Structure 1
Amino acid sequence: MIIGLDAKRAIANHTGLGNYSRFMVDIMATYQEGHRYRLFIPKKKNNSSYEKLLKHANVRSELPHSSTMKRFSSLWRSFFIKKDLLKQGVQLYHGLSNELPIGIHKTGIKSVVTIHDLIFLRYPEYYHSIDRKIYNFKFRYACQVANRIVAISECTKRDIMHFYNIPESKIDVVYQGCGAQYSVMVSDEVKKQVREKYALPDRFILNVGSIETRKNLMLALKALKNVPEEIHLVAVGRRTAYVDELLEYARLNNLENRFHLIHDLPHVDLPAVYQLAELFVYPSRFEGFGIPIIEAMHSQLPVIAATGSCLEEAGGEHSLYVNPDDVQGMSDAINRVISDEELREEMVSEGNIYLRRFNEDVLADQMNKVYSKCFLSEKSPSIVPEDIQTVPYTYGKLVADNR
């Protein structure tokens, strides 16, 4: 079967949706090699991680051909790509990042869309109004016209059913794994170099992810006051305005020397940082899944995360969970883990067993079964929203702005 995939994020993004897209293409090309995979990208960009995907004999890139479509590549991806899908003989198209081309349901090509989260609907205060409108249009449309929907967690599945009134029978949950590099133990020499390079403390708690309000790093920082002074907090991630709030709290509470921020950390150094840590904390208020938890567990770290979304799915029953507003609960959980060696060993060993469900071959087989389901019925996937026929031209312009 010839499978087309929306690979914009795979070539353009180095984290998040990009990681997911590259991971899925790689495992499908490796473990379901009977298919041919066509990666549709709006334009070429330098990305070594993407280039590795093209080493698979059954994978190749597809770009817009005409000068007009090259110039308006975002419009090509959202509206005019259908002609190229048909020319390439694509039988199934997978929107890896929450959206599908407008009118895909009229081509005869089966379609699958992966929905990562609907946080913009559950927590609208974290998003600009125009972004919410665009996301809502694209996500809702994709859910309604797709033959199958892939949710990256049971939590996301519930939100798709709740916000878009999509029947459960149309949604499959397929998790994401993480790169193999996190399961490889880094040498002591490399660890020493990384520790010196980033001035990492001897003992520290680690957090990885964009440092923004929703990620709720303040909970861990406040909990640090009730943790032994030799324990520091290291946060690795993209800087936002929230950082200033964290630094001000650290200054007012004499935690400046125990709170360390690292921005723009190269991926090659991240496994060593994980393995140098004593504990991983992920107090986010809401996530679609929580890949850093999987990375930490592969790095043989015990995990403490927040309740309220999907993080229990990522961490399993032997990780610890606290309410995202419970400072004392976070302090107690941290102190319990760092002081109880037997508990740490149990969390790590049981975590390794739990991680088997995220093995690459398992996930590739699950995704292939989703693809097969698309061909079980020739019925139209669903009713197309009435307002699709009257999409304003400004939507196309906004798409071109990469929103």
Structure 2
Amino acid sequence: MKVLFDHQAFTGLPYGGVSRYFFELMRSFAKWPEIEFDLSLRLSNNEYLEQESFSNHLRYRRLSGSRNINRLASLLNRMYSQQRIQAGKFDVFHPTYYHRYFLDAIDTKPLVITFHDAASERYGDLYPELGKGLYDVKKELLRRADCIISVSEYSKQEILRYFPVNPEKIKVIHLGTRLHKQSVGKVPMSRPIPMPYLLYVGKRELYKNFDSFFRAIQPVLQRYPDLHLVCAGGGSFSQQEYNSFYAARLADRVLYRPATDENLLALYQHARAFVFPSMNEGFGLPILEAFGNECPVVASNCSSLPEVGADAALYFDPENDASMAHAIERIVTDDALCADLRQKGTERLRDFSCDKTARQTLDVYQSLV
């Protein structure tokens, strides 16, 4: 059986949860004789593909900062994908994001759509930049799909809330991670900064709730002058963020680090805790990354996060500053609690793996052929 993945998630951005998801699927499939796959891609700067490339694409590092160049790359990739789809040399098509360009060409071939979250539907009116106009495209794709993979039970309920979809078409398949201590052997990663710190990972805008989180922890940082906050990924700090840090007299204690795998491994392993204050996550992969590196997790008590973290995380109300501050102060001061969460996180991680995700996804493909 042969599956065709397209270019969408691998165009424009070097990192991202969606491209990582598809990269890990392909990495598992590459080990198994019962499935073949192709990735229709011509131009990409995706960093995951640098580890193990599944296409003969070209990189354009020097020009990657140009929006026009990225648009051109997207157009050329789409034309190439259309050619591969029209050739028809596959049994199942699994696009990597939401675009209808392939619908006329795919004919009756089985179509699988992975639904990650309903952020654009839930927050589209408040934050149009999330892709408010995606609704009609998603609706059409979900109607045409032979199977919809949802990354969590929470996301399944979001699909049913916003779209007219038959629940029997939806298959919940949890994600996994390979970003854990065992991936670098028994030698621990060196400490990235000498001071104790809390770790925040990923984007900080909109419903990610970083501004509220920083406001809530300011009293905690004031009470513990050695404690720092490290933000990994999500882009460098904006001038507005710098102004906020300076106004709180904490500018020298809020640090930024790029979210490379090497950086994340070291940051998770030495953090006092990973804090996830997001208001909405389809799955919340960083929770598993923290579990895999024996890092205590403090997270919002909403969306999919309790589904993923279960009893292995400490939760707070992301809309209540006092609740956030109380949970974070507990993790800063209670060594026994941290040890307990590390142990529970290691145990919880056993329920998730990239190979398990890929095996269940392969079952979906085989059921359609």
TM-score, normalised to structure 2, is 0.85
For residues 93 and 119 of structure 1, what CA distance do their matches in structure 2 show? 24
Kept in 1: contact 2:179–2:265 (CA 8 A): no
Looking at structure 2, the residues matched to 168 and 240 of structure 1 have their Cα atoms a distance apart, in angstroms, of: 41
Structure 1 contact 10–21 (Cα < 8 Å) conserved: no
User: Counterpart of 2:274?
Assistant: 280
Instruction: Tell me how many residue pairs correspond in the alignment.
Output: 351
CA distance in 2, matches of 1:107, 1:163: 26
Contact preservation (8 Å) 2:178, 2:353: no
**Counterpart in the other structure of 1:96:** 96
Match for 2:274: what amino acid?
F
Q: What whole-Å deviation, never above 9, does each CA across 1:205-264 have from its counterpart, x for those lacking one?
A: 0101012132111233223233222222111222378x44443333233222332233x3
Alignment partner of 1:2 is 2:5 = no
**1:330-352 deviations in whole A, cap 9, x for unaligned?**
11111212222221111111111
Where does 1:262-301 land on structure 2 (aligned, <5 Å)?
A: 262=257, 264-301=258-295
- The letter of the residue matching 1:364 is A
User: Taking structure 1 as reference, are residues 248 and 317 closer, same or farther at Cα in structure 2, changes over 3 Å only?
Assistant: same
Indicate the residue corresponding to 1:351 in structure 2.
345
Alignment identity in percent?
A: 25
Inter-partner Cα distance in structure 1 for 2:333 and 2:219: 14
Specify the alignment match of 2:76 in structure 1: 73
Q: Give the direction of change, closer, same or farther, for the CA distance of 1:35–1:184 in structure 2 (3 Å limit).
A: closer
Tell me which residue corresponds to 1:36: 36
Counterpart code for 2:334: D
Contact 1:114–1:149 (Cα < 8 Å) also in 2: yes
Matches within 5 A, 1:175-214: 175-184=174-183, 191-192=190-191, 195=192, 200-214=193-207
- Structure 1 unmatched runs, 5+: 64-68, 376-403
Tell me the residue number matched to 1:370. Answer: 364
Q: 1:91 to 1:160 in 2, by over 3 A?
A: same
Change (3 A) 1:327 1:337: same
**1:254-303 deviation digits (Å, cap 9, x = unpaired):** 222332233x3443222112212111101011122222221111111111
Matched, 1:232 2:193: no
Letter of the structure 1 residue corresponding to residue 139 of structure 2? R
> Are residues 137 and 201 of structure 1, via their aligned partners in 2, closer, same or farther at CA, if it must alter by over 3 Å?
farther
Structure 2: how far apart are the matches of 1:78 and 1:157? 28
Residue in structure 1 matching 2:85, options 73, 79, 82: 82
What CA deviation, in whole Å up to 9, does each residue of 1:164-188 have, x standing for no partner? 1212110111122223455446888
Q: Give the 3 Å change call, closer, same or farther, for CA 219–159 of structure 1 in structure 2.
A: same
Cα deviation, residue 34, structure 1: 1.2
Partner of 1:303: 297
Deviation at 1:159, TM superposition (A): 1.2
- Distance in 1, matches of 2:37 and 2:184, equals 32
Conservation of the 8 A alpha-carbon contact between 1:174 and 1:366: yes
2:66 alignment partner in structure 1: none
- Cα distance in structure 2, aligned partners of 1:108 and 1:320: 47
SS, match of residue 317 in structure 1? helix
Does the 8 Å contact 2:119/2:280 carry over to 1?
yes
Q: Indicate the larger mover: 177-186 or 208-217.
A: 177-186
CA distance in structure 1 between the partners assigned to 2:146 and 2:357 by the alignment: 19
Distance 1:72 1:278, change over 3 A: closer
Q: Which moved more, 1:326-335 or 1:221-230?
A: 221-230
Deviation at 1:100, TM superposition (A): 5.5
- Whole-Å Cα distance in 2 between the matches of residues 51 and 235 of structure 1? 24
Aligned to 1:396: none
Q: Secondary structure at the match of 2:39?
A: strand
CA 1:220–1:37 in 2, change beyond 3 Å: closer, same or farther? same
1:327 correspondence with 2:330: no
Contact 1:212 1:239 in 2 (8 A): no
**Whole-angstrom CA distance in 1 between matches of 2:129 and 2:210:** 22
Return the index of the structure with the highest Cα Rg.
Answer: 1
Residue 121 to residue 101, structure 1, CA distance change in 2 (3 Å): same
- Kindly state the Cα deviation for residue 61 of structure 1 after the two structures are TM-superposed: 5.5
What residue number does 1:313 align with?
307
- Please provide the CA RMSD for this pair: 2.9
- Give the Cα–Cα distance (whole angstroms) in 1 for the partners of residues 108 and 338 of structure 2: 53
Partner of 2:225, secondary structure, is: coil
How many Å apart are 1:75 and its aligned residue? 4.7
Question: CA, structure 1 residues 76+27, in 2 after alignment: closer, same or farther (shift >3 Å)?
Answer: same
